[in-house]
Structure formats: structure tokens, C-alpha cells
Amino acid sequence: MSDELRPFRIHIPQADLDDLRERLARTRWTRGLPGEGWSRGVPLAHLKELADYWQHGYDWRRHEARLNEFPQFMTEIDGQDIHFLHVRSPEPNALPLVLNHGWPNSFIEFADLIDRLTDPRAHGGDPSQAFHVVVPSPPGFGFSAPPRETGWTATRVAGLWAQLMRRLGYDRYGTQGGDLGAYIAPDMAKAAPDHVVGVYIIAGLGLPTEADVPELTDDERAAFEQLQQADWMNGVPHHALLRAAAQTFAYGWHDSPVAALAWMTQKFKEFTVADKLPEELIDRDLLLTNTTLYWLTDTFGSSSWPMYDSAGFGWPEGQKAAPTGVYSGAPGIRRLAERHNTIVHWPTDNPGGHHFVAMERPDDVAADLRRFFDKVR
């Protein structure tokens, strides 16, 4: 194994971009099905409009150049080639922080957040609250090599990230995560309890299950019933789908950009907790950059290991090796979260209308991250 950190820059061959546009131009559109709005999935007119913009208006090279403004590297850990961003703050006493993205997302989830964390002075903030930011891509996501065998878990990835932070020379650091990252970030504290000063989760701790219902108060039971009716709880069951046949669906997502776009649009709509379209909350180009990255790196299938390597779904549990804070306590219940976490930060009024809130409200996420880590740094 080599400890070498190899500088990396994104440069997609022009032939790959030309192929994407040609495939979009040759789309064999299916007919629309009867039904209101999104009741049958992504509406035909909506997807046609998005696909037309992807083909004629979206500029990958512009976003590629922006992403290349972040220092990027590759390194091998336990035989796995890992891609990561390492953006050091101009403030020498900044706290190192690992940002763990979700699924079906990528390091692009934090494109608008990073500078707010590394250089608060430039955003009218306190320079003493700065972070050195590390954003690794798990195996099978983005430019990290795909898993070569089964058996990948959040715990295994967390162990890789603890090794990565040692390799970067960081002895004391924080971790953050949402969605898939809400499983990896706590496991980093378990993997390196003497080094992780705090764990920050976007949301998902303390969510009640059917087993908790008998002990819930009337208000908590009403909130649980409301949770069960939420769109993101009742959409396409991607855990079951990808656990059963990830390979089958990956053929279509890799061969047809419109199939890939429809899948991403479906999931980002279901992850919109407000009654709005994803692009009403998140910049359309940011959504398309994430989709384009998946398309260009052939990672629709390889990023599915959190589903196909699991036996079932369970909410993130957390850990007690380090203090925990959240961006949003709701719809979780604090006393349930405290069964497995030492909660020191539990706001219930932070704004947000999307599951991937760092893409929607980077200023608010940055401010709340600073509030939490001020308590534990």
C-alpha cells in the first residue's frame, strides 16, 4: 500500500460529452400515463424540459472548472483508490472537518458549503470558527474506485476515513453527515474515539419505529403518524429495489441519460419535504452536475452498495464516543436519540425544505455547524 497523495483534476474527454448530447438527441420518448401530477412518476413534460436544458443549455465545462478550484487528490487505502477534496482554511487554527455526503449524491453536495466553512471571514463571519474541510467520496461514488467485492458497510468506510485523516496529519477533527453520511460520520467516532471531537448529523436521529409506539406520548404518536404519511417515506422504495436488482437497473441508467435523469429527478423530488419541485429549492445546474457526474463515472450501480450489501433498512443510531449535534431534531425525538447519543445541540427551528439541505441552504448549514463545533472544539 502506498501512502502517496496524488493531485487530481477533473477532465472529462470531449468525446464523452459529445456522446451524452447525442444520446439525449436520440431519446426514444415513451407516452405519458394518465394520472395527476407526479402520481405516476416524473411527468413527461417536466422531464422533456429538463432533458432539453441538459442537452442545449447546461455547460459541464463551466462546472468542471469550478469543481477544479477545489484541491483534489487520490490515494490508496486498504487497496481501494479514494478520491477526496482537501480544502485548507487560510486560518491556521481551523478545526479539520470531514463532510460525508449522501445517496444518490456526491461531493457536489457541498460545492456551495465548503468556502463558507473554510473562509468565514470572507462571508462576514468569525475567523476563529473556520474549518479545514475534507470531502472523501466513498467507494463506488464519483471518482473513487468501485468496490471489487461485497461486504461494504458504513463502518468499513468510516475506518478508511480515519486512516485518511491520519495520513493527512490530523489528530483532532470533527465529522458531519446526512443520509448515507449519517451512518458513516458516527462510525468515524467509533473508529477513532480519541480523535473525533464531535459528530454533526443533518437529521435522522431518534426517529421512532413501530416498536417505540407504545411508549410515545399523544403528541409524539401524532408526529409519528405524520411521518408515516410523508412523501419521502412513501416514494419508490430504492432500498428494496437496489437490494434486489441493482445490476438490472444499472444497465438502463448507464445506457440512457434520460433514464438516469428520470431516476435522479424522482429521488430528489421524493427528498423534497416541501411541496415544491427540487429545482425550486436547489439550483438546477447543481442537480444536473450531480447527475452528469454519475453518468460520466458509471456509478449508478457501483454507488448502490449501501442497499445491495445490506439485509434491510434501519434509521441511523449514532454513537456515544463523542458529543453529537444535529441540524434538525425533527422529526426525531430527542429522548429517543439520547439512548445512543450524547446530544449537546438539538435545534428544531432551522430552515430547510430539502433532504439535502446543504445544497439548498448552505449559509444556514454553515452557521449551525459553527454553533455546534463551538461547543466541542
Q: What CATH number is associated with residue 341? A: 3.40.50.1820
Residue 356 placed within a domain: yes
The predicted structure's pLDDT at residue 230: 73
> In this predicted model, what pLDDT tens digit does every residue of 131-145 receive, in sequence order?
999 999 999 999 999
The strand pairing partners of 325, in sequence order, are 200, 345
Total of domains in the chain: 1
- C-alpha to C-alpha distance for 1 and 140, rounded to whole angstroms: 19
Give percent above pLDDT 70 in the chain: 99
Residue 338 placed within a domain: yes
Residue 9 placed within a domain: no
Please write down the long-range contacts of 49-56, taking CB distance under 8 Å and 24 or more positions apart.
50/261, 50/265, 50/284, 50/288, 51/24, 51/27, 51/257, 51/258, 51/261, 53/284, 53/288, 54/24, 54/257, 54/261, 54/288, 54/291, 54/292, 55/21, 55/24, 55/25
Residue 319 placed within a domain: yes
Residue 30 placed within a domain: no
Cell numbers standing for residue 191: 473508529
For residues 273 and 162, which has the higher predicted lDDT (pLDDT)? 162
Residue 294 placed within a domain: yes
Give percent above pLDDT 90 in the chain: 90
> In this predicted model, what pLDDT tens digit does every residue of 179-212 receive, in sequence order?
999 999 999 999 999 999 999 999 999 999 889 9
Alpha-helical (H) ranges within the chain are 14-25, 44-56, 60-67, 114-118, 154-167, 181-191, 218-229, 238-255, 257-270, 278-281, 284-297, 305-308, 334-337, 357-360, 362-376
Kindly state the average pLDDT of the residues 22-31.
98
Residue 201 placed within a domain: yes
Q: Which domain holds residue 121?
A: 19-25+40-376
Residue 312 placed within a domain: yes
The predicted structure's pLDDT at residue 231: 67
Task: Transcribe 156-196 into DSSP letters.
Answer: HHHHHHHHHHHHTT-SSEEEEESTTHHHHHHHHHHH-TTTE
> In this predicted model, what pLDDT tens digit does every residue of 31-74 receive, in sequence order?
999 999 999 999 999 999 999 999 999 999 999 999 999 999 99
